[in-house]
Copies of this chain bind each other. A is one copy, B any other.
Amino acid sequence: MNGAVDFPLERAELSFRAAGDSLVRRSVLPSGVRILSEQVPGARSATIGFWVAVGSRDEQPADARHPSTFGSTHFLEHLLFKGTQKRTALDIAVSFDAVGGEHNAMTAKEYTCYYAKVQDRDLPMAVEVLADMFTSSLLDRDEFENERDVILEEIAMAGDDPADAANERFFEAVLGGHPLGRPIGGSPETIRAVTRDAVWDHYGENYRPNDLVVTVAGAVDHDALVAAVTTHLEGAGWDLGIAASPVPRRNNQPADIVRGSAISITQKPIEQVNLYLGTTGLVATDERRVTMSVLNAIFGAGMSSRLFQEIRERRGLAYSVYSFAPAYSDAGLFGLYAGCAPAKAGQVAELMLDELRTLARDGVTPLEIERAAGQLGGASALALEDSDTRMSRLGRAEITLGEFADLDEGLRRIARVTPDDVRALAQSIVDRPFSLAAVGATSADVFANVVDVATPTDDAA
């Protein structure tokens, strides 16, 4: 390969060598099923994922006739482990446990993925069981009610984690009414309200041949994989003979975001204030994403970052402090986090913002860029030793980006980032309306001077 490889949605067979001599192959079946593999020389295990490009953002608010479907994507994910025409929940669990495999699923804001990591000899089993779960789950009514209680406990556990809770409030504060602002799992109220019929409809409407993306990385033979996936889908009664195009990718234009709130406080009688501060970022396909990676590395990722050095090393104000920049199809965020003592929360918020303003005003040095490039490249190389990372990279390339860039191409892109690029991006970020979300023994007045509560784009609601 040379540079990035496009993944067109139209039917195509693609095959190319990526950095490190792995073999990437991609097949789009006539029915729209997409199968991608990355065969890694010397690998003795494989990670496999069954994906659909549907996440919590696609759920519907309540209307006159139906309760909201908030949380139903995650609910469905749980139910796919609860039994099929052929397998009980215990059968599914035993299949993977008995070979020591890892086996789980993740519901995200824009996709859902069921995955397993197994030794090479167990890959055929993993294909078969995941295909069975994906095509033939029963969503039994008794299991549905039982699982409702499990999910309520999962939400309660996350609610008891103050950093998790603050993170959800932060997304709501920055993204306002945009569907990406909602928590992935729903709320106790929406989970109690979701009906089995709504989840069943969701399953039927979004788990079809042209929704399915299968990605495998590690010890995998592409032809055998395609044959196995085809066999198990057809064995489940799926008609792969019908012609269908894969579901279109999402619109990647930045949405108009109206800030939800300037300050969101959740008072809790705990030791630390969990503090998130930030604003909108870049969409996943923005060409400045690589600049954002460099900016984030310099500003807040790692022990040598400016944020870590200033807040923890010089001042001892926090143990955990960092920045992050999640990106989605039509919105992104740039956020700062610190956990600190309540008496220091206002000071920490101001210092973090000051650091960002300093970077936006004075820029970064070529040496900082060079170190960031080494950091991003080295971390990627280490991460790609794990087939999990490669499996996810294939899914992200297919579902979100529409192109595959290997490690060498990633390094080339990073090498083109200049100090001016970083400063310009930082400048555009600091000019946006900021939001602050805090969970702990604190109050809004502590942060009154930190965040501008009235801006032209502020939501009056």
Name A's B-contacting residues (CB within 8 A): 42, 44-45, 81-82, 89-90, 92-94, 96-103, 117-119, 122, 145-154, 156-157, 159-162, 269-272, 302-305, 308-309, 312-320, 339-341, 370-371, 374-382, 385-386
Q: Which residues from B are CB-within-8-Å of A146?
A: 313-316
B149 lies within 8 A of A98 (CB) = no
| Assembly stoichiometry (copies) | 2
Q: Which residues from B are CB-within-8-Å of A386?
A: 385-386
Other than the known A101-B382, A157-B320, A160-B270, what 10 A-B pairs have Cβ atoms closer than 8 Å?
Answer: A44-B381, A93-B304, A97-B375, A100-B376, A100-B380, A102-B382, A119-B378, A151-B319, A154-B319, A156-B272
Q: Assuming the A-B contacts A153-B272, A378-B122, A385-B44, are A97 and B302 also in contact, with contact meaning beta carbons closer than 8 angstroms in the complex? A: yes
* Option from B81, B93, B319, B370 in Cβ contact (under 8 Å) with A157: B319
Interchain CA distance A92-B93 in the complex, whole Å: 45
B150 lies within 8 A of A316 (CB) = yes
B93 lies within 8 A of A149 (CB) = no
What are 14 A-B contacts defined by CB distance under 8 Å?
A: A90-B304, A98-B375, A99-B374, A100-B375, A100-B379, A100-B381, A101-B378, A102-B382, A119-B378, A150-B319, A153-B317, A153-B339, A156-B339, A160-B272
Q: Which residues from B are CB-within-8-Å of A378?
A: 99-101, 118-119, 122
Interchain CA distance A379-B308 in the complex, whole Å: 35
B375 lies within 8 A of A99 (CB) = yes
Interchain CA distance A340-B319 in the complex, whole Å: 29
Scoring A102, A145, A270, A371 by chain B CB atoms within 10 A of each residue's CB, the highest score goes to: A270
Q: Which residues from B are CB-within-8-Å of A161?
A: 161
Shortest CB distance A381–B (Å) = 6
Interchain CA distance A159-B319 in the complex, whole Å: 13
Scoring A92, A93, A304, A386 by chain B CB atoms within 10 A of each residue's CB, the highest score goes to: A304
Q: Which residues from B are CB-within-8-Å of A153?
A: 272, 316-320, 339-341
Q: Which of chain B's residues has its CB closest to A340's CB? A: B153
Interchain CA distance A96-B374 in the complex, whole Å: 10
Nearest 10 pairs of A and B residues by beta carbon: A100-B378, A149-B316, A100-B379, A156-B271, A93-B303, A93-B304, A146-B316, A154-B319, A153-B319, A97-B304
Q: Which residues from B are CB-within-8-Å of A94?
A: 304, 371
Interchain CA distance A291-B44 in the complex, whole Å: 28
Interchain CA distance A152-B340 in the complex, whole Å: 10
A103 lies within 8 A of B303 (CB) = yes
Q: Which residues from B are CB-within-8-Å of A308?
A: 93
Q: Which of chain B's residues has its CB closest to A318's CB? A: B153
Shortest CB distance A379–B (Å) = 4
Q: Which residues from B are CB-within-8-Å of A374?
A: 97-100
Interchain CA distance A329-B98 in the complex, whole Å: 30
Q: Assuming the A-B contacts A159-B271, A304-B90, A378-B119, are A371 and B339 also in contact, with contact meaning beta carbons closer than 8 angstroms in the complex? A: no
Interchain CA distance A152-B344 in the complex, whole Å: 13
B318 lies within 8 A of A119 (CB) = no
Interchain CA distance A159-B270 in the complex, whole Å: 8
Interchain CA distance A341-B155 in the complex, whole Å: 11
Q: Which of chain B's residues has its CB closest to A161's CB? A: B161
Q: Which of chain B's residues has its CB closest to A377's CB? A: B100
Q: Which residues from B are CB-within-8-Å of A340?
A: 153
Shortest CB distance A441–B (Å) = 11
Q: Assuming the A-B contacts A94-B371, A371-B98, are A339 and B157 also in contact, with contact meaning beta carbons closer than 8 angstroms in the complex? A: yes
Q: Which residues from B are CB-within-8-Å of A317?
A: 149, 153
Q: Which residues from B are CB-within-8-Å of A45?
A: 381-382, 385
B272 lies within 8 A of A157 (CB) = yes
